[in-house]
């Protein structure tokens, strides 16, 4: 069974546009997915990238056209008026939820879906325009996707530790942006939601 490390940030519009395609691809090929939220701004700093606020206006103007084009192509709603927010609290919740899901259904949980949790947080931001750094928003999405809302608090310590380790692991693995899909078995790397078709094709060769 192929294993995929999925590097992501819950504030990435490109991760939002990926929708549930990764999960559907993984199910089709019997692959496992490990969600690895990380500090995307620190990743840019570590790998030669440029933070959005420092990018050339031409790049920002192109991004402002390309995102709505992709949203229309995929039939997805995408808000472009979202403000900058702290991705760490939502990332910690994803990490804690994944840890509990891997350990089995704990008290207060209904056997949640980590992929659905990620998509719920991304939709809260890019469809509803909500601040996913807010505790109430994180708790609401946790509950809606089958997890105990208390994970928003209970998972802080393990979330913070793993968040930092995910960044180091990403740098070592050659990751430089998100969404980024690393197939561990073959060391094949795919950057961007527009490379999911290539990932699908590759998994079919394993």
**Considering 9, 12, 91, 109, which one is annotated as catalytic?**
12
- Please list, in sequence order, all residues whose beta carbon lies within 8 angstroms of the beta carbon of residue 73, skipping any fewer than 6 positions away: none
Beta bridge partners of 188: 183
> CA 156, CA 79: separation in Å to the nearest integer?
29
Residue by residue, what is the 3-state secondary structure of 156-190? Answer: HHHHHHHHHHHHHHHHHHCCCCCCEEEECCCCEEE
In the annotation, is 12 catalytic? yes
Q: Which residues are catalytic?
A: 12
């Amino acid at each position: 069974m192929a294993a995929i490390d999925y590097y992501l940030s819950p504030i990435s519009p490109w991760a939002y546009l990926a929708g549930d395609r990764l999960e559907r691809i993984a199910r089709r090929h019997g692959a496992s997915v490990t969600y690895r939220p990380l500090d995307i701004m620190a990743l840019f700093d570590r790998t030669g990238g440029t933070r959005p606020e420092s990018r050339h206006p031409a790049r920002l103007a192109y991004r402002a056209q390309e995102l709505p084009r992709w949203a229309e192509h995929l039939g997805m709603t995408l808000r472009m008026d979202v403000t900058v927010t702290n991705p760490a609290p939502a990332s910690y919740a994803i990490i804690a939820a994944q840890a509990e899901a891997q350990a089995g259904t704990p008290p207060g949980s209904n056997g949640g879906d980590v992929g659905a949790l990620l998509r719920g947080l991304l939709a809260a931001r890019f469809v509803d325009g909500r601040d996913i750094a807010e505790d109430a928003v994180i708790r609401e999405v946790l509950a809606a996707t089958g997890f105990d809302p208390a994970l928003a608090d209970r998972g802080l310590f393990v979330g913070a530790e793993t968040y930092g380790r995910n960044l180091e692991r990403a740098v070592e693995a050659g990751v430089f942006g998100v969404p980024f899909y690393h197939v561990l078995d073959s060391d094949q790397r795919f950057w961007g939601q527009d490379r999911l078709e290539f990932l699908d094709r590759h998994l079919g060769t394993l």
